Amino acid sequence: MRVACVGGGPAGLYFAISMKVREPAHQIEVFERNRAGETFGWGVVFSDQTVENLMANDAVSGRAIADEFAHWDDIDVSIEGTAIRSSGHGFIGIGRKRLLEILTERARDLGVVLHFEAESSDDLADYADYDLVIAADGLNSRLRKRYAEHFGVDIDIRRNKFVWLGTHKTFDAFTFAFEKTAAGWIWAHAYRFADDLSTFIVECAPDTWAGLGFDTMDQPAAIARCETIFARHLDGHALMTNAAHLRGSAAWINFPRVLCDRWNYDKLILMGDAAHTAHFSIGSGTKLALEDAIKLAEVLNRPGLSRDRALAEYQTERTVEVLKLQNSARNSTEWFETLDRYLGFEPIQFAYSLLTRSQRVSHENLRLRDPAWLEGVERWFAGGADAAVAPMFVPYRLREMTLANRVVVSPMATYSATDGTPGDFHLVHYGARAQGGAGLVFTEMTCVTANARITPGCPGMYDDAHVAGWRRITDFVHDNSAAKICLQLGHAGPKGSTKVGWEGYDIPLDTGNWPLLAASDVPWDTANQIPRPMTRADMDAVREAFVAATHRAADAGFDMVELHAAHGYLLSSFITPLMNRRTDEYGGSLENRLRFPLEVFVAMRAAWPAERPMSVRISANDWSGDDGVTPGEAVAIGRAFADAGADLIDVSAGQTWADAKPVYGRMFQTPFADRVRNEAKVATMAVGNIFEPDHVNSILAAGRADLVALARPHLIDPMWTLRAAAGAGHANIFVPPPYLGGQAQITRNLARTAEMEGRA
């Protein structure tokens, strides 16, 4: 096979090596526009797993690379000179120039033909003599650009400015140094990669960059300014550039996130940064490129595998790994882009937030790395407790209601009521979950009128019989658990009059449908009724129904009430512009769209006892781009309800538009809770694909939310919180007396299992 590799960086060179070690007869040529060994980066960071992959692929170059590594375990987070150090992180670094030298030498030894200072064509017709062309020419790939329509290229230019520099100051830890200037905050990512060299990446927001004058400075002046700003970290050492050919402020760039739907066209194959990029703050771009090279070489040399099948497998397998890292990189990138949210944190929480920003590192990961440091975090979170307490078990107060812990049973529809009245099923369902240890139990959406129900099986709070049914449940919860219980009140609006969930979601009833109300005459879907746009008289009636239900909630003994203003139901149909087409004072601007939901909330708050808290559930993202509610608007929505008296914002997302395109994943809605909490300065509850104690502790300790709600985990395991307490060895939790023996046994069993796993 004759192959042209366009680009002599790590991706192109390592692919050439990987092909030749599998089949020496391959004719591989590498074309690089720069001189041999010329590079514009400084250090490259790897993990132990990457090294193992390199050794397994080609032991010769793998050993040569490993022999050059600089190793370090510590991370320093310095905020204006206050340093927080944690250990056990296990980084490995090598100079990019040295890496290229090793790969170049190995490629030559294997018979790869190397062409340096060679300008390559971006026209496939000029590669007629080659079987394959590998586009390894980086994030600005000319070949990808020439054939962009075949690759489905998506490039997202990120907000912050950064510049790659180097220094002879050798850092003994991976250092994040944050400094405040008159123009704003600026920070450095610094790490040693050789005996006397360190990478020093300077990053800041665009306003800070311009405010410091970097937009008008040449490189020497900009470097001198950075030396002054970071003087306390450099100990008199200079900063250096290896991009002196760039004039003015051109050395400062905005990171481009590259994503391609397809990685090959005809005989052209994308690899490394030409196919995908990952933000430098997680240091995985070169790792991805080398692993691309290994996989592509492996499938191209597998006997019996056609080229088309080989390329399909290459993209399918590598895309999974790339998307994982790009998701982590996006989280990390956004943390630095929204740094202002976290600058009010105490240093120890700021450091924790930074370390867990990508969601790849969690609470228990940190315990494995540096247990003493994490115990310090836990003691701090618990208010300076003598003993470490996992964040999920730290009490939380809302008005006069104190929760025993931060775990919440999320609202989940059960569709099991009769004419709106909760019965034995609800007593067992909510009673079991309250006894399971969660600090707060939410009811499913409970409807304020019969016509406000989603299905005939939905519970209500519009009749005195409902009060009695709910009182039976709240009495049981209060008498048999330490949990508090919250009634979620709502109105289905355009999503009403449908079958129960297990008969098919959002499917209208076969008979007995009732009329629907909404902000506008926009049906939920084509199969659903067209709702009637609400008149002012309708608004008055609905508001009073919510008020009446709120009074009944107090009579029924609930500790808290939540207003459901999310998920496309009635109040949500006002908030989202996707369903609100009104041209009066209730449509158009966000202020107008919030007018009626806020009116309802204010009336409920006046009816609800002052000492008891209230929350509001919102959809923080319609998953419809700028056409719907965005996370930025969610901050304003949360702030508006908080200003009206809400004690907690329950931050969900989506379910407001049938054609939405949600992006799922672990803790996928938590970033919205984080943003609302730390920009609107209001308490929030995170929810959405949270299912492990590790998730809960990570969210809380990082200051991303104040409470954490779990839905499906509680459906299958009502004792989820007691089980988590047993696993953590946390004994200070209420266990119903009849269950004490079971709690003691599971605590012993889990401790024994952990001990055996530790020995293994």
Q: Active-site residue numbers? A: 569
- Give the type of residue at 564: H
CA distance readout (Å), 204 to 113, 210, 214, 472, 635: 42, 10, 11, 57, 23
- In contact, 43 and 193? CB cutoff 8 Å: yes
- Give the type of residue at 108: R
- Give the type of residue at 124: L
Q: Are strands 113-116 and 132-135 parallel, antiparallel or unpaired?
A: unpaired
Burial class, 376, CB count within 10 angstroms (exposed 0-12 / middle 13-18 / buried 19+): middle
- Spatial separation of the C-alpha atoms in residues 223 and 240, rounded to whole Å: 8
- In contact, 256 and 159? CB cutoff 8 Å: no
φ/ψ of 173, rounded to 5, equals: -150, 155
Which residue pairs from 178-185 have beta carbons closer than 8 angstroms and sit at least 24 positions apart in sequence? 178/77, 178/78, 178/79, 178/80, 178/339, 179/80, 179/229, 179/230, 180/80, 181/208, 181/211, 181/212, 181/229, 182/211, 183/207, 183/208, 183/210, 183/211, 183/212, 184/208, 184/211, 185/339, 185/340, 185/343
- Give the type of residue at 285: G
Phi-psi region of 512 (alpha: psi -120 to 50; beta: other; left: phi over 0): left
- In contact, 607 and 550? CB cutoff 8 Å: yes
Helix, strand, coil in percent for the chain, rounding step 5: 45, 20, 35
Count the Cβ atoms, other than its own, within 10 Å of residue 222.
25
- In contact, 97 and 40? CB cutoff 8 Å: no
Of 377, 382, 512, 385, nearest in space to 457 by CA: 512
- Spatial separation of the C-alpha atoms in residues 228 and 306, rounded to whole Å: 58
- Spatial separation of the C-alpha atoms in residues 663 and 669, rounded to whole Å: 9
Question: Is the torsion defined by CA of 290, 291, 293, 298 positive or negative?
Answer: positive
φ/ψ of 30, rounded to 5, equals: -115, 130
- In contact, 609 and 645? CB cutoff 8 Å: no
Can you state the angle between helices 96-109 and 59-67, rounded to 10 degrees? 150
Say how many CA atoms lie within 13 Å of 115 toward its Cβ: 12
